[in-house]
Structure 1
């Protein structure tokens, strides 16, 4: 049963990932990416990583995609705004994508999982309480700096996108 769910989620993830890249409309691409994020959260649930599944939905599908959609709607992109690419640039992009795939495949084949350390330590690192304790005890200052940086970037993006009224 779990393998059937895995294959369904994998098909949804791959299909929406391909549709994200191939879609001409940027809004449709963003919607496909949201569906892809939800299916990736399903994969996290299959791995019993509940915290990662919820954070993936809240942070990526929620916050980042809303900001991306907001930016796309502010920019008012249309079909006429992007010129056609030359054949040489398409060929170069295909070759570089294939080379990246070969590198990723080689890295996957050479990697070995390290599971022995996880089983011998006896801590449940997927627990929300342990993640919160580590985040707010050991990494409180970088966590706060990251939040201030994100708020500053959001305010800057709003100020840049604000249109000047000339009358």
Structure 2
């Protein structure tokens, strides 16, 4: 049963990602991203990572997609820009993709998983829980990076508010 669920989730994530990329309508692309994020959160639930599933829905499906829609409507795309297709570059693109696949396979040939050390071993995660270990790492070992990220996000939100306010007043 788990393999069938994983197969469905993998196929749904892959297809929704492709639909998001190749959709000509920007709002539909954002909605396909929403489908992707929801399926990804179910995948996290199957891995017993409930906290990551909740964060996936709250942060990505909530905040990031709302930000994408905000930017789309802020840009106010009235007409679609159509560029001529680059038919002559398909052989070059095929060679580039093939070389990247060869490099990826060459990099994975000698892959050996690292031994677990410290508090992030699977036994410790199962014993204590994902949320507690993540919280300890964020607020003990990485508190400076966590605070810097919070300040940067606050500055970004304030910058967006200032830009929208100037656009409304006609200053730009």
- Please give the TM-score of this superposition, normalised by the length of structure 2: 0.79
Cα distance between partner residues in 2 of 1:140 and 1:157: 26
When residues 96 and 56 of structure 1 are mapped into structure 2, their CA distance, relative to the original with a 3 A threshold, is farther
Q: Is the 8 A contact 1:44 1:53 kept in 2?
A: yes
Is 1:84 aligned to residue 84 of structure 2?
A: yes
Counterpart of 1:127 in structure 2 is 130
Higher mean displacement: 131-140 or 86-95 = 86-95
Label 1:145 to 1:86 Cα distance change in 2 as closer, same or farther (>3 A). same
Stretches of structure 2 lacking an aligned partner (at least 5 in a row):
none
Matched residue count: 164
Q: Does 1:165 align with 2:170?
A: yes
Deviations, residues 70-92 of structure 1 (Å, cap 9, x unaligned): 10111122443343343345665
SS in 1 for 2:31: helix
Q: Which residue of 1 aligns with 2:3?
A: 3
Alpha-carbon distance, 1:32 to partner: 0.3
Q: Please give the per-residue CA displacement for 1:88-140, whole angstroms capped at 9, x wherever unaligned.
A: 45665555445444444444454333465535xx4217521221122112222
TM-score, normalization: structure 1? 0.81
The answer as to whether partners of 1:19 and 1:32 remain within 8 angstroms in 2 is: yes
Deviates more, 1:95-104 or 1:59-68: 95-104
Q: CA RMSD in A?
A: 2.6
Relative to 1, partners in 2 of residues 1:82 and 1:6: Cα closer, same or farther, differing over 3 Å?
same
The list of structure 1 runs, each at least 4 consecutive aligned residues, that deviate by more than 2 angstroms after superposition, is: 77-119, 157-162
> Who is 2:141 aligned against?
138
Higher RCO structure (Cα 8 Å, ≥6 apart): 1
